[in-house]
Structure 1
């Protein structure tokens, strides 16, 4: 169905919405009713309940994750495939020529700063946490013919088990997660910069809901976005705290306890608050660039000191294996690897979808001036290549050590596997310490980026809301992570991500269609020009 630009003109102007919305200018806040009070109240109640009744919270989250993943795994897999195909279609179609911000817009950031912020916000902690553990785990399960092996495993076949382990790992960290982020980021950037709508999730649904986005349908969308962002962030922050605590225990004998995790979260949240107050350019951008440099240094060290030639060959082999197994791994039905699909893939897809409002809005805020084709290519392809390189270097080195007979990585707990791998290379103490710093800085960039995003949503799309609001959300990100860790540990973190990711899987499918309608209309006639002539 063709979409006419004049069908999209709002009856109520964006200016009227932003000025006339019910704001409470109190205590230095700029509260957008009812998104802020409802979101904040529910989050406060959740933290209080989890801390007061940790046993009940533990039981609930222990039930929640398998209940959702075993029932709705097919929803997540189908949605993920649709997002990848949509992104590729935009790159190849004439719609890719649309420029975010209009035909005369130019990028606000250079490529290095832009890529640094994309990468740090997108999955920094996850790559450090799973870069060693996941390839080794899939390899071990495949070699043993375990029920948790991807695609049935490769029992007794060492080389094939290695390839399958890397292919399964890259499936979780390459095209699919970045396609989820790209769809949300494009929608937010396009409707904000090209249509002049507020930079908030509800705006992406304007072609479908029209002026109803300014009422309760829009409120509900934004409230869900706040919950998804906060719990998705808390999952990553919890992983980061566990790995940092494990690293400190490995290096310096610091007790790896809940108290250590809580102290770490409190200290790092304090650093994040400083960055939040500094703002996007002074705080987040600078920390992201520092983190990019640290990541490159650690990556280069492992590459040159580790099994370099194996890694060079592995990059090509792993890429081939990934694309070889991409379609079989993407199939939602007719597979025998139920444990792998529900225990690994479904959790990851839910985690990425719960993160998508945060990462998507953050990417949108730093991507004005790019064409849709440039945007999709960079957000989809470049991080995929970086993920393949990262997993090949860290996972490949760990696999080489494991195949050579070192059992320390396989035997180590999940957060310690990175340090067990580095322990087989020179300068162990220095590289392990850099690894801890990397996790901590990723922690900080995720926290302050997330607080900026949540603050934008709860302020009705304003990008310059008062600092006290950003401080509030940064503080509660840390509190939610603490509550989840104390109320069930890793299972609680994963359960929270899945619970918020499921409704977003449905919401993002609708968002994808809405974005397509908007792009078609924009290519026929730029929206703001249409409004100006009306």
Structure 2
């Protein structure tokens, strides 16, 4: 009995304490999870040939085309409706939900990473990661928020410096510097990437570990059952995912067009970038990302992402060297400290404390960002799931949250620090003529303005091409029952429609183009918040019944029984001998 107990204890220790080495069952004698011929089919559902889901594709396409038609026929009418819905309903009555759920996703992702579920692989136990770590990070970052960093990297810190959140600090003061950097990092680091990580993890686990189709609806099978996940309810979830993807990527395209137009005006190529020029830029970028999308992930997105990461690194290094280097370096630890010191306050901002002024500020910043990230989750989550096969849950969450957050910290310290320095020395970057002009206003006061401005416009364009490339493929996947390689004509359709929606968003915004992008993005993200909450519950149920977890639970129960038996035996041996009295 003693030898048997020791062998079981060693085997269990190998499984329970050895983390990622549980991926090698031949060394432990314990099945770490589904083998190649057991729990997961050799070819998962997502690898099957493309087949269009006519219901999902048809409903999503008709609704999107109807909105595009409405926006073209009467942009003022669409603008009035979106303004009323947003400012009379969503922000006053639902802004708290965006703020609360965003922090909830952070807690959920971190708990999964540090829990025992972190050892589970997103795939079969012996699978290796499909992409090298450097390329994995580059693709993930480019698809996730590259274009946003280019657009807001300069503007957001100086905007919060000149106009801090209501009741937080005196404009342009030392305290405002701390608030500006903390608020910027709050919007661009842990929270957005945790939102992406939750959806990406759920899709990757469901697809590559459980062998289901690569659909948002398939993730809900543990919660609503297979029949409902493939029925009308599941199709409604996929339609909402397509809609969120379409409008989230269209908002990014609009931001890209605004910044390219602003750059062309800054280098004196044009006088004033009107709506006609912006629509033309959208058309050119749309053609470019469609061409990239139909070339495939490895050929298109990976190549573009690697180029962009190199160009972005060169640009950041240039600003660091020629800008206020010492201030930027000192800003990094200060920004980290400010972020953690003010995290609780920033997470709890609502209209209760600031009234209508705070509600307006939240609608333009925090709620817009949370809605933007949530609207991006179907395509960013599905895309990072697609490129993360073979990694463990812990590797996935740490990689998806930590690495891009560090990059964002460095990016905003460099560009935000340089902009803050100029703003406090008399250069009005915050009021330079619009959000899209802020970056070029900064660069005008640095050497080699024109070539650097051209590099920025190129970066913005490629960042969008790589992101919209992924979005088109994902919408094709959602339209074709989860296939990894959707048909080219479907991908082209969604790509063209993305460009059309972006043009409509700019038309709706009118003179304030960014407002139109923000309003429609927030409205479309509202129903998807509910989808994401259900998704968290579903993935947790799935993980509880993972084969590795079941095996560990059985092992621990066996050891507990053996330990109890051995304890009883030792107690019997320790009983005092009672002699018989005559």
State the 1:324 CA deviation. Answer: 0.8
| Structure 1 CA distance for aligned equivalents of residues 372 and 157 of structure 2 | 19
Counterpart among 513, 516, 524 of residue 500 in structure 1: 524
- 2:54 is aligned to 33
Once residues 330 and 93 of structure 1 are traced to their aligned partners in structure 2, the CA distance between those partners, rounded to angstroms, is 24
Residues 18, 238 of structure 1: CA spacing in aligned structure 2 closer, same or farther, 3 A cutoff?
closer
Q: Is the 8 A contact 1:73 1:332 kept in 2?
A: no
TM-score (norm 1): 0.90
* 8 Å Cα contact 1:50-1:57 kept in structure 2: yes
Deviation at 1:16, TM superposition (A): 12
Render the CA deviation track for 1:45-87: whole Å, top value 9, x for unaligned. 2111211112212222332332312221110111011100011
**Which residue of 427, 435, 438 maps to 2:459?**
438
**1:363 and 1:335 mapped to 2: Cα distance?**
38
1:17 positional shift: 8.4
Change (3 A) 1:223 1:306: same
Q: Is the 8 A contact 2:364 2:518 kept in 1?
A: no
Select between 324-333 and 359-368 the one with higher mean Cα deviation: 324-333
The reply to whether residue 303 of structure 1 matches residue 320 of structure 2 is yes
How many Å apart are 1:356 and its aligned residue?
0.6
Cα deviation 1:130-164 (Å, max 9, x = unaligned): 1111111111113xxxxxx25x2222672111010
Shift of 1:410: 3.1
SS of 1:496 mapped into structure 2: helix
Aligned position for 1:231:
247
Distance 2:323 2:213 in 1: 49
Q: How does 1:312-323 map to 2 (within 5 A)?
A: 312-323=329-340
Question: SS of 1:133's equivalent?
Answer: helix
Give the 5 Å matches for 1:482-497.
482-488=503-509, 489-497=513-521
SS at match of 1:335: helix
What does 1:38-437 align with in structure 2 at a 5 Å threshold? 38-67=59-88, 68-142=90-164, 149=165, 152-155=167-170, 158-211=173-226, 212-254=228-270, 255-331=272-348, 335-336=353-354, 337-437=358-458
Q: CA deviation at 1:252?
A: 2.8
Q: Could you tell me how far 1:341 is from its partner in structure 2?
A: 2.9
Matched, 1:455 2:476: yes
Q: 1:386-419, CA deviations, whole angstroms, 9 ceiling, x for partnerless residues?
A: 1111111111100011111222443331100000
Unaligned runs of 5+ residues in structure 1 are 7-12, 24-28, 143-148, 527-534
CA distance in 2, matches of 1:233, 1:436: 18
CA distance in 2, matches of 1:19, 1:312: 47
The partner residue of 1:519 within 520, 525, 543 is 543
Contact 2:293 2:301 in 1 (8 A): yes
**Aligned-pair CA distance for 1:108:** 0.4
Shift of the alpha carbon at 1:184? 0.3
Could you tell me the TM-score, scaled by structure 2's length? 0.83
What value does the CA root-mean-square deviation take over the aligned residues?
2.1
Q: Residues 339 and 58 from structure 1, CA distance in 2 versus in 1: closer, same or farther, beyond 3 angstroms?
A: closer
- CA 1:465–1:305 in 2, change beyond 3 Å: closer, same or farther? same
TM superposition shift of 1:372: 0.4
Contact 1:200 1:222 in 2 (8 A): yes
Rounded Cα–Cα distance in structure 1 between residues aligned with 2:208 and 2:169: 50
Tell me which residue corresponds to 1:531.
none
Relative to 1, partners in 2 of residues 1:278 and 1:385: Cα closer, same or farther, differing over 3 Å? same
State whether residues 162 and 430 of structure 2, in contact with CA within 8 Å, keep that contact through their aligned partners in structure 1: no
Residues 340/439 of structure 1: CA separation in 2 closer, same or farther (3 Å cut): same
Q: Secondary structure at the match of 1:132?
A: helix
User: Quick check: 2:122–2:392 contact (8 Å CA) kept in 1?
Assistant: yes
- Alpha carbons of 1:258 and 1:167: their partners in 2 closer, same or farther (altered >3 Å)? same
User: Per-residue CA shift, 1:236-277, capped at 9, x if unaligned?
Assistant: 110110111111111133230111101101111111121112
The structure with the largest alpha-carbon Rg is 2
**d(CA) in 1 for partners of 2:334 and 2:308?**
28
Tell me the distance in 1 between the aligned counterparts of 2:85 and 2:144.
25
- Note if contact 1:117-1:289 (Cα within 8 Å) is conserved in structure 2: yes
DSSP 3-state at the match of 2:365: helix
Deviation at 1:125? Answer: 1.1
Aligned to 1:145: none
- 1:441 Cα shift? 0.6
CA distance in 1, matches of 2:517, 2:117: 39
| More off after superposition, 332-341 vs 155-164 | 332-341
Q: Quick check: 2:196–2:380 contact (8 Å CA) kept in 1? A: yes
